[in-house]
């Protein structure tokens, strides 16, 4: 019995040693098994810092303030906002007070998440009688449609509370004076007896001063788009998520494309094709074109699902098509690059999954780039994912056209060009 157990253990150990030798032969694939989770943890941990620390003292939210009023009440509002923890106010640009145009441009480009515009006559309108609703003091919020409105809801609610408080502090003295005149109280007391007036009439005076609005000054808050128009419709959660999911799915072609090269070399089909009277460029075009068409079909299907089931708005179709064509080309270029660098199926699989996840995380597919730390935001610009997402957002959410997405399209074509050049340089045709 003991000898049988010893023989079984010997067999198990022999198999273990054999498998370890096989793994060690392809050390690059083995290294990728460790590198992939390590890189993913690093990227996601750094990126997610912004989710939990945004709005804290160490990582404040930047808010641009355009004061078109200049009165005492608006200055008081700004002073109160400066005392908010986790918020940094930007009032000046190039040494001059911030203009509405610069604030709109900054929000539209994603440089800041929110801008606050205190409209003309704000201070004067605060002091109007509470029942005078002909003119309201107005404050406008400007935020980019691509920003998740839920992330800013808490900040906007706090700002509204501060504005109401400051407006009430400014309005109460005027309302008290009107209440005194209305009730004829002051004339029945000796001159200078304010404390006696307040002590004996405080309940009635406060009721008159606050009025039916409960002390709320007449302030109206508006939501504007970066173009200044009323933002009657902000993008739905689906409209914000579908572009990211689409880009994420497109780059999974990398694994399929690269694996097909390895499989052809393994079964000898590649060698037979190379022996035929066929130029290398013609072979590559014929090889890549089906995968390119698959990518385009993926994109069309994803957006079709969004339109049919979730009624999303696609915006300018020609601009959407141009961005999609460049995106699919970049994905195919990356697939060819992985095929050129990978020597075995395990290496190709490891590189494909690693790039698919890491580039998606860096490019804003998993964590919005506007809440990433500064270094992560900069790093995201070196991914095709971020530029493709920016292009889709410009078309679908900002309502921009073909001319406005030429930059994103050009950068995507640049990525594709680099991928193809390096891939052809390193590709083994033998």
Q: What is the pLDDT of residue 215?
A: 45
DSSP code of residue 89: E
Residue 191 pLDDT class (50, 70, 90 cuts): very low
The pLDDT, as a whole number, for residue 70 is 80
pLDDT of residue 60: 75
As a whole number, the mean pLDDT across the chain is: 78
Q: Is 116 exposed, middle or buried (0-12, 13-18, 19+ CB in 10 A)?
A: buried
Q: Is the pLDDT of residue 342 over 80?
A: yes
For the stretch 139-157, pLDDT in tens is: 888 887 777 666 677 788 8
pTM of the model: 0.72
Return the domain boundaries, the chain.
61-224, 237-426
**What gap in Å lies between CA 136 and CA 221, rounded to an integer?**
10
- Determine which helix (DSSP H) or strand (DSSP E) holds 394, and give its type and residue range: helix 384-396
**Which residue has tokens 């979730």?**
310
Does residue 282 have a pLDDT over 70? Answer: yes
Which alpha helices (H) appear in 83-121, and where do they start and end?
100-108
pLDDT in tens, 81-94: 888 877 888 888 88
The predicted-structure confidence for 374-383, as pLDDT tens digits, reads as follows 778 888 899 9
How many whole angstroms from its chain centre is CA 389?
9
Q: Place 45 in a pLDDT band, splitting at 50, 70 and 90.
A: low
Instruction: Answer yes or no: is pLDDT of 192 > 50.
Output: no
Q: Which residue matches tokens 């996840």?
A: 357
Strand partners, 31: none
- Min mean pLDDT across 23-37, 152-166, 396-410 is at 23-37
pLDDT of 62 over the 90 cut: no
Q: Of 35-44, 68-77, 250-259, 391-400, give the lowest mean pLDDT range.
A: 35-44
The answer to whether 367 and 380 are in contact (CB under 8 A) is: no
Say how many Å lie between the first and final Cα of the chain, rounded. Answer: 55
Share of the chain above pLDDT 70, in %: 71
Cβ atoms of 44 and 367 closer than 8 Å: yes
Cα 233 to Cα 64, 154, 391: the distances in Å are 22, 20, 20
Name the pairing type of β-strands 92-93 and 96-97: antiparallel
Report the sign of the C-alpha dihedral through residues 348, 349, 352, 357, in that order.
negative
Instruction: Indicate whether 322 pLDDT > 90.
Output: yes
Judge whether 142 and 103 are in contact, CB under 8 Å: yes
Question: Which position has the higher pLDDT, 247 or 73?
Answer: 247
With 90 as the cut, is the pLDDT of residue 164 above it? Answer: no
Specify the CATH number of the domain 61-224.
Answer: 3.40.1710
């Amino acid at each position: 019995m003991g000898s049988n157990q010893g023989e079984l253990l010997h067999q198990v150990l022999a198999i273990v040693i054999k498998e370890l030798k096989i793994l060690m032969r392809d050390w690059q694939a083995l290294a990728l098994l460790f590198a992939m989770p390590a890189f993913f943890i690093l990227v996601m941990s750094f990126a997610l810092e912004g989710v939990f620390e945004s709005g804290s003292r160490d990582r404040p939210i930047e808010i641009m303030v355009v004061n078109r009023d200049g009165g005492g009440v608006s200055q008081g509002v700004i002073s109160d906002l400066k005392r908010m923890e986790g918020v940094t106010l930007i009032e000046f640009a190039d040494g001059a007070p911030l203009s509405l145009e610069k604030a709109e441009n900054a929000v539209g480009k994603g440089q800041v998440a929110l801008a606050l515009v205190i409209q003309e006559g704000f201070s004067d309108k605060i002091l109007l009688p509470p029942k005078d609703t002909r003119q309201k003091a107005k404050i406008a919020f400007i935020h980019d449609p691509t920003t998740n409105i839920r992330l800013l809801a808490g900040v906007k609610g706090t700002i509204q509370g501060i504005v109401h408080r400051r407006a009430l502090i400014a309005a109460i003295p005027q309302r008290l004076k009107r209440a005194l005149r209305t009730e004829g109280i002051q004339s029945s007391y000796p001159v200078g007896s304010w404390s006696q007036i307040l002590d004996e009439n405080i309940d009635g005076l406060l009721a008159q001063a606050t009025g039916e609005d409960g002390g709320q000054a007449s302030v109206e808050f508006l939501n504007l788009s970066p173009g200044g128009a009323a933002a009657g419709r902000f993008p739905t959660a689906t409209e914000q998520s579908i572009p990211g999911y689409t880009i994420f799915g497109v780059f999974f072609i990398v694994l399929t494309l690269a694996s097909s090269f390895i499989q052809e070399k393994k079964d000898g089909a590649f060698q037979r094709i190379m022996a035929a009277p066929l130029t290398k460029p013609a072979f590559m075009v014929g090889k890549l074109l089906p995968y390119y068409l698959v990518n385009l079909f993926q994109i069309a299907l994803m957006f079709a699902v969004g339109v049919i089931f979730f009624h999303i708005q696609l915006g300018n179709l020609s601009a959407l098509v141009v961005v999609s064509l460049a995106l699919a080309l970049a994905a195919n270029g990356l697939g060819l690059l992985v095929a050129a660098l990978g020597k075995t199926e395990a290496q190709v699989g490891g590189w494909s999954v690693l790039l698919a996840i890491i580039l998606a995380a860096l490019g804003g597919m998993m964590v919005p780039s506007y809440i990433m730390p500064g270094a992560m935001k900069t790093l995201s610009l070196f991914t095709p994912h971020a530029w493709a997402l920016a292009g889709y957002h410009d078309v679908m959410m900002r309502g921009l056209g073909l001319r406005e997405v030429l930059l994103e399209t050009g950068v995507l074509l640049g990525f594709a060009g680099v991928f193809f050049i390096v891939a052809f340089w390193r590709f083994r045709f033998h």
